[in-house]
Structure 1
């Protein structure tokens, strides 16, 4: 038998169990019709599956009893020529049984292995990965995700911490659910970011709709649509239009400011560079501090600080692990 790709084997098993999706059925059909070898391999798997039906239904297979039944049906008083044929028959049956039992064991392993969780964590920089259903996830540095090797027929369930971006494949009747410490997020096909930390869950939807449900009863359940920003904390869920155009800057590497207040720029820089950045008390009391219009693309922090210094006539200093802006003299 030729080597069958793992994802095709998975679809064949779903097909034989009648739980495949329409898309999976199309994928399988396309693979089978690619070549005569593929079709033969598929037919062999189907035959083994059908032959192993009674074995898979039993908790254990009694090999000794099976041979006893086989031997009783053979004529032990047969002449030498016939004895050779009987031995060959036993070898053939043995080979068949090995194949069937191997397939049964493999199927059992695959079914059990679906419960094994894959844990991915982004170390230095972001990590991009594809889930078993084809959905895209980008983990921001420090974020992590847990998901099964294969989703079950009821739902596609994952658990996340930290900040991550999702572009979910649409599968009607097969909801995609994200669990955080304080919420459940359910989608059918959309793109969004979720940031779950010890203080709050923040959901920003780029496209589609998301059902946002707090695990505490007072939080309630809300539908969040495209270009809405939802925050869940101890007060409940608050939804507002997206005001932060840089919420995906950690993914794109681009910071864009259009007449942005200085305070908003400082917050965006602190989030993007993972640093403590603030303005000193004298600077924050300036009532007419200039707004900033600028675009920074994959630039080192020092360059960005120097450009801001020139744009609005401020200075900055480093104090321990904090960068502090102050009024230039």
Structure 2
């Protein structure tokens, strides 16, 4: 659970003790509905609560009358109280019960939080249809593209800082020569951070790294070798080969900045990047494909919809397009 959601601990404790107000119950339910991870976390805490709750409940064999008499005898000789004895007994017993519940809930949440920070992986995902940023314990910054996720152990370990990435993310890593920062990907590539700022794009079969600042070591799986990438370079690990080249894509961070720009580029390249940026499928009619490689445009899109961007390109280059289901068809 993130530190900015620590207030949820209080709501969970009250819920387990059946002490939530209607408004608190609504807030807790809203948090549970936000993600499957939240529901799983609540279920784990609830299970822990069920496992240890009996320890806080006096066994039925206790002689509560005798216990009360001992308490009552000790109260003799004290200053008079205005609460009747019967009510006083009820209040004290309720107080003891509430204290027991509070101790058990606090202990449960402390144990759970301690476990999370030691050996339970933390999963952070950008599943809300937008970019998500986070800061790790070492002050490294990670920006996840929509649909991406990372998995890591909070606090890392004594030897290195390792995260597992699915999807695309931008990393700004805090240097620590004694504790290397490693990124593992689905295709078994390993990225060792030797500098500070870079983007990683993963799939089940390949990994692409573009370095903005500093340098990065990219190692391929299955003994395919490794290479050092410097600022302005791109490296890719694909089945059977690993290679690098200068990065000529000025829009490689468009998903993060929200800015898509083109400088005298062919329409064929523009349509490919527009499709990726907006998450659309764009196809070109066969008879028009050759033309898209010769038509060029200079344009910049920021805060515009796909429809607005396509309309502006249409005005610049004179092509036509139509929507067929979820696909945009471009032609003469």
TM-score (norm 1): 0.64
2:230 paired residue among 218, 225, 231 = 225
Q: In the alignment, does 2:126 pair up with 1:122?
A: yes
Asked if structure 2 preserves the Cα contact closer than 8 Å seen for 1:171 and 1:189, the reply is no
How far off is 1:318 after superposition?
1.1
Q: Does 1:187 align with 2:193?
A: yes
The runs of at least 4 consecutive aligned structure 1 residues that moved more than 4 Å come to: 106-112
Three-state SS of the structure 1 residue aligned to 2:138 is coil
The Cα shift of 1:272 comes to 0.5
Is residue 146 of structure 1 aligned with residue 151 of structure 2?
yes
1:144-182 CA-to-partner distances (Å, cap 9, x unmatched) read 100111122210000010011111011122110000122
- Describe the SS at the equivalent of 1:289: coil
Deviations along 1:43-79, whole A, 9 cap, x unmatched? xxxxxxxxxxxxxxxxxxxxxxxxxxxxxxxxxxxxx
C-alpha change, 1:108 and 1:144, in structure 2 (3 Å) is closer
Structure 1 unaligned regions, length at least 5:
1-5, 7-101
Q: Distance in 2 between matches of 1:211 and 1:249?
A: 24
Report how far residue 112 of structure 1 moved.
7.7
- d(CA) in 1 for partners of 2:170 and 2:200? 7
TM-score between both structures, scaled by the size of structure 2: 0.64
Q: CA, structure 1 residues 107+154, in 2 after alignment: closer, same or farther (shift >3 Å)?
A: farther
- 1:304 to partner: Cα distance: 0.2
The answer for the alignment partner of 1:133 in structure 2 is 138
Does the 8 Å CA contact 1:166/1:191 hold for their aligned counterparts?
Answer: yes
Q: Structure 2 CA distance, aligned partners of 1:285 and 1:111?
A: 60
What secondary structure, in the 3-state scheme, does the structure 1 residue paired with 2:291 have?
coil
C-alpha separation in 2, matches of 1:121 and 1:315: 38
Gap change, CA 1:275 and 1:109, over 3 Å in 2? closer
1:317 — aligned with what?
322
Alignment equivalent of 2:207, drawn from 196, 201, 205: 201
Contact 1:187 1:211 in 2 (8 A): yes
The answer to whether the 8 Å contact 2:268/2:293 transfers is no
CA deviation vs aligned residue, 1:19-56 (integer Å, no higher than 9, x gap): xxxxxxxxxxxxxxxxxxxxxxxxxxxxxxxxxxxxxx
Q: CA RMSD in A?
A: 2.3
Aligned to 2:7: none
Q: What displacement does 1:107 show?
A: 10
* Count of matched residue pairs: 224
Counterpart for residue 216 of structure 1? 222
Tell me the residue number matched to 1:255: 260
List runs of 5+ in structure 2 lacking aligned partners.
Answer: 4-105
Cα separation, 1, equivalents of 2:275 and 2:115 = 46
